[in-house]
Amino acid sequence: MTLEQQIANALQNALKQLYDIDIEADPSLVQPTRKGFTGDLTVVVFPWVKTARKSPDALGTEIGQQLKDALDVVADFNVVKGYLNLQVAENYWLELMERESGNADYGRQEPRDEAPVLIEYSSPNTNKPLHLGHIRNNLLGHSVSQILKACGHPVVQVNLVNDRGIHICKSMLAWQKFGDGETPESSGMKGDHLVGKYYVVFDQHYKQEQKALMEQGVTEEEAKDRAPLILEAREMLRKWEAGDQEVRELWAKMNGWVYAGFDQTYSRLGIHFDKTYYESQTYLLGKSIVQDGLDKGAFYRHEDGSVRVDLTGEGLDEKVLLRKDGTSVYMTQDLGTAQLRYEEFHPQKMIYVVGNEQNYHFDVLKLVLSKKLEKPFGDFIYHLSYGMVELPSGKMKSREGTVVDADDLMDDMYREAKQGTESLGKFQFTPEEADKLYEMIGQGALKYFILKVDPAKNMLFNPAESIDFNGNTGPFIQYTHARIRSMLRKAAENGMDLSQTTPQLTLNEEEKTLVNLLYQYPKTVSLAGENFSPALIANYCYDLAKQFNHFYQDTPIFKEEDAAKRLLRLKLSRWVSLVLRSGMGLLGIEVPEKM
């Protein structure tokens, strides 16, 4: 039973005995004491002041005395304007440290026997390489998956590759018309980069055609719709859906180039999936679901021939589910994919990690499934909406070739890590060790800088700021971990045995603060799982690393003459290193043994 639950149970009894007030023994009533106040845990007594007919301070004092008498873990208390601050007995903290300081699984819950949580992330298009926006998507999806697993939930990690559609045909058509047979091998380019190059080429020629039409007096909107290239791309999509052999062969060849490129990028990011779905394999099921909805009167056929759903009664508008030429849209394949996943995994929840520009899309998807089609899994859908990532130079646009490719960004981070590490001096690594370290630091800087921001917020990614070895950065936390591991190696070399039992000692303020913060780790993991927020883990790791550095500067370890105190501080340091490794691992970040 957690400390908070013990106090909540005793609080329930105290209120009943003293004032005949009935409450639930809710551990959320017990919160960490705010900085600047004396205490470890706090109960706010204001909700019961009126019923108990007591002043806040008098009420807090009476409840505090009752809790102190009832619980050995409550050593003392104080009341500040209705806030009952409880001091936890030192032997509780010492026993906790003794029990958990060597536990690499501290903070993780036992696996639950329940339906899985299914998480879709990445969801790339096969007309371009992964870019900075995809990196945030992948890092969020992977980290939330790891956090939910740490909370005991079974998790299925899936990817949906958007491998068909008009955007794919644009790259195919441009390569066919302007590529002159260029391949990844002949160009020396990664396949996804090569295909992305022709997506940009299409847009360049398309704009030239629009300009020519507008010079003839055609409106901009008409020019976009009538330009020869876009008409050819639409015809190519129609042929693809009709199964045209030549178009399908070109599609398979170019997608193959892209998949090989994606695999390299995923591997470097440490991203993996339990299953990959392809839009080309789900859109037909989606079309059949749309037809069923049409037959049942849930949808209707518009006068232009398209199939639509009317959601005006739900506060939205009309949504196209099939175009007038019969080709599918994103919503079509999402209906089919959701059906497939439900039949295959029967998940308790389906989480879609997708940018906030698609909020409306997922509002529609949930409404269509749950209200119009009455599918049982419609209410299981949760859109993990995240903000956009920008660089100091501004927004990115794929079709204009201004996107920062994920591969290029990771190369830049490697170079930043190399420069920053070597500038610190005292560098004693083999070339192989150095290469691995630069990659670890570069990846850590990138991942941490993105994940420390609340997912809902837009963010500005600054590579130079992210690599700083001071401040709220990945390298700062990695360096703290490496410092502790170095210290523990020194202890082992000097014959210090951390398996010995620590005698009962009095904790100084730095030690107590550190133990209290370590105690908060399991709760932080649970909160991160409940809120799907890696930012809670990231900022906890920073607070822990920062607090350890205060402790390290102010509290002697090897210079401590008292062997028992030295042992306690080494165990405490080891515990910090294990929690940093665990927390950073939930973010997909490795921590080095030495730097």
Q: Which of 152-166, 215-229, 455-469 has the lowest mean pLDDT?
A: 455-469
Q: Which of 46-60, 217-231, 317-331, 371-385 has the lowest mean pLDDT?
A: 317-331
Residue with token string 């790339």? 124
Average pLDDT in the 459-485 region? 91
> Quick check: 467 pLDDT over 90?
no
Residue 464 falls within a domain, yes or no?
Answer: yes
Highest mean pLDDT among 257-271, 415-429, 452-466: 257-271
Q: For the beta carbon of residue 58, count every other beta carbon within 10 angstroms.
A: 14
Instruction: Round to whole Å and give the CA distance between 84 and 32.
Output: 11
What is the CATH classification number for the domain harbouring 39? 3.30.1360.70
Going by pLDDT thresholds of 50, 70 and 90, the confidence category of residue 506 is confident
Do 84 and 125 belong to one domain?
no
Residue 595 falls within a domain, yes or no?
Answer: no
Both tokens of 446, joined, read 């990138």
Give the closest residue to 45 by CA, choosing from 34, 29, 32: 29
Do 350 and 256 belong to one domain?
yes
Both tokens of 202, joined, read 């299409």
What is the CATH classification number for the domain harbouring 427? 1.10.730.10
Per the structure, the count of domains in the chain is 3
Which one of 88, 106, 130 terminates a domain?
A: 88
Both tokens of 301, joined, read 């056929």
Going by pLDDT thresholds of 50, 70 and 90, the confidence category of residue 496 is confident
Both tokens of 77, joined, read 């208390």
pLDDT in tens, 72-130: 999 999 999 899 999 999 999 999 999 999 999 999 999 999 999 999 999 999 999 99
Do 484 and 371 belong to one domain?
no
Residue 146 falls within a domain, yes or no?
Answer: yes
Residue 523 falls within a domain, yes or no?
Answer: yes
Do 382 and 491 belong to one domain?
no
> Quick check: 330 pLDDT over 90?
no
Q: What is the mean pLDDT of the chain?
A: 93
Residue with token string 């990231």? 538
What is the CATH classification number for the domain harbouring 207? 3.40.50.620
pLDDT in tens, 351-407: 999 999 999 999 999 999 999 999 999 999 999 999 988 877 654 444 444 568 899
Do 393 and 412 belong to one domain?
no
Residue 594 falls within a domain, yes or no?
Answer: no
User: How big is the chain, counted in residues?
Assistant: 595
Give residue 462's pLDDT: 84
Do 466 and 582 belong to one domain?
yes
Contacts of 443 (CB under 8 A, 6+ apart): 268, 269, 270, 410, 413, 589, 590
Contacts of 214 (CB under 8 A, 6+ apart): 220, 223
Q: Phi-psi bin for 71: left (phi > 0), alpha (psi -120 to 50), beta?
A: beta
Give the closest residue to 226 by CA, choosing from 236, 240, 214: 214
Average pLDDT in the 270-290 region? 93
Which one of 359, 377, 400 terminates a domain?
A: 400
At residue 375's C-alpha, the angle toward residues 151 and 321, to 5°, is 110
Instruction: Round to whole Å and give the CA distance between 507 and 94.
Output: 8
For residue 459, the 8-state DSSP code is E
Give residue 421's pLDDT: 82
Q: Is 469 helix (H, G, I), strand (E, B) or coil?
A: coil
Average pLDDT in the 489-517 region? 89
Which one of 376, 400, 424 terminates a domain?
A: 400
Do 182 and 233 belong to one domain?
yes
Percent of the chain with pLDDT over 90: 81
Residue 415 falls within a domain, yes or no?
Answer: yes
Going by pLDDT thresholds of 50, 70 and 90, the confidence category of residue 243 is very high
Do 166 and 190 belong to one domain?
yes
Do 411 and 387 belong to one domain?
no
Q: Is 566 helix (H, G, I), strand (E, B) or coil?
A: helix
pLDDT in tens, 554-587: 888 998 888 899 999 999 999 999 999 999 999 9
Domain limits for position 581: 407-586
**Sign of the C-alpha dihedral, residues 325, 329, 331, 337?**
positive
Do 126 and 81 belong to one domain?
no
Give the closest residue to 206 by CA, choosing from 176, 231, 227, 233: 227
> Quick check: 427 pLDDT over 80?
no
Give residue 395's pLDDT: 47
> Quick check: 133 pLDDT over 90?
no
Residue 183 falls within a domain, yes or no?
Answer: yes
Q: Is 319 helix (H, G, I), strand (E, B) or coil?
A: strand
Contacts of 416 (CB under 8 A, 6+ apart): 442, 445, 463, 464, 466, 467
Name beta bridge partners: 76: 87
Do 136 and 155 belong to one domain?
yes
Instruction: Round to whole Å and give the CA distance between 81 and 76.
Output: 17
Instruction: Round to whole Å and give the CA distance between 231 and 533.
Output: 44
Do 412 and 370 belong to one domain?
no
Q: When comparing pLDDT for 501 and 194, which is higher?
A: 194
- How many helical (H) and strand (E) elements, i.e. helices and strands, does the chain have? 22, 14
Residue 317 falls within a domain, yes or no?
Answer: no
